Amino acid sequence: MVSATRVTIGGLADRLGLSKASVSYALNGQPGVSDDTRRRVLDLAEELGWHPSSSARALSRARSDAIGIVLRRDPGLLGTEPYYMSLLAGVEAELAESGQSLLLRMVGTSNGQDLAAYRRWSAERRVDGVMLFDIVVGDPRPALLDELGLAFVLHGNDESTAPGRVLLYDAFGDARVLVDHLHALGHRRILHIQGPQEFEHEQERAAAIARFAAEHGMQAASEPSDYSMEAGERIAAAHAGDPGLTAIVTSNDLLALGAQAALSRRGRDDIALVSWDDSLICRLGSHPLTALARFPEEQGRRATRMLLDELSGVETATRTARPSELIVRSTSVRAQPA
């Protein structure tokens, strides 16, 4: 058998008695050859273990075969966030099945670095499209990407942000599940430890919790944080001395873990604790955390498929995230009688 490293389009053409152009058309799925010829070319290519170089394929189609993600997060904190690690795992899994690559940049929280990255990628033709997460209020990225001509898909709760290009999740539905659960346990006052208020989804979560709590005759207050375990511990400790507080909802699992540590030190085992994200850390320890399973790996897959479909001009079958499910564990304690 001829070594795959020595097989070229010219070599395939010689073996089959075809022109190089015909072989190229057949390998790249282009018109210009019969079905029988295409089958002969593909069969021989498979037999010889031949694959086109990614650079040659990209040049022939003016494509990079890569998508980009720029995250405006503290790199040190991101590495500890199970949600994003699972999300990126889903992105990578979908790209691997499609023969695409991921270009990931973490630019920290300084303003403008993410926009500069998109401009550079566009000028250098480094990516075919990008995926957007953590949409901020008045987010400038969709308009910039339209201006640059870069395809994109974003993960959010508002279709009007970029019609047809949003993987929609139901923040209000999630909030209703959490508040209904706490109300059923008899709780009267909720503290919501949220993430940074600049994020649209955090504002939506706070508004939704307040709305559904009011419908049940409950009280709710929200306090912003940076998603870290330290912030959860600090905020919960500051409120643990309030005898009227009966439940805490945190916007991610790290905040919940920190809050749990603070409540444990104060002996407040009467306060229910629920996380908006589920992960392995919610299941560990002597008191596993009740949490909302949001299936981030599948979210990553679905958002990636949406982008790849857009780049291929294919209609996407699914534009919504999988509905969340509440996983009830030991921190779903019943409220003490008033």
Of the pLDDT bands very low, low, confident and very high (cuts 50, 70, 90), residue 3 is very low
Provide the 3-class DSSP secondary structure of residue 265: helix
Q: What is the pLDDT of residue 242?
A: 96
User: Token match 């993600």: residue?
Assistant: 69
Q: What is the mean pLDDT of residues 284-311?
A: 93
Whole-number average pLDDT of the chain? 88
Task: Say how far apart CA 261 and CA 240 lie, in whole Å.
Answer: 11
**Is the model more confident about 18 or about 245?**
245
**234, 237, 266, 232: which is closest to 249 by C-alpha?**
232
The reported pLDDT for the residue numbered 50 is: 66
Question: Residue 54: pLDDT band by 50, 70, 90 thresholds?
Answer: very low
Confidence of residue 20 (pLDDT cuts 50, 70, 90): confident
- Tell me the whole-structure pTM to 2 decimals: 0.79
Nearest to 102 by CA among 79, 75, 68, 78: 68
Confidence of residue 7 (pLDDT cuts 50, 70, 90): low
- Answer with the residue of higher pLDDT: 333 or 338: 333
What does the pLDDT read at residue 208? 97
- Average the pLDDT over 289-311 and give the result: 94
Name the phi and psi angles at 153, rounded to 5: -135, 140
φ, ψ at 166 (rounded to 5°):
-115, 125
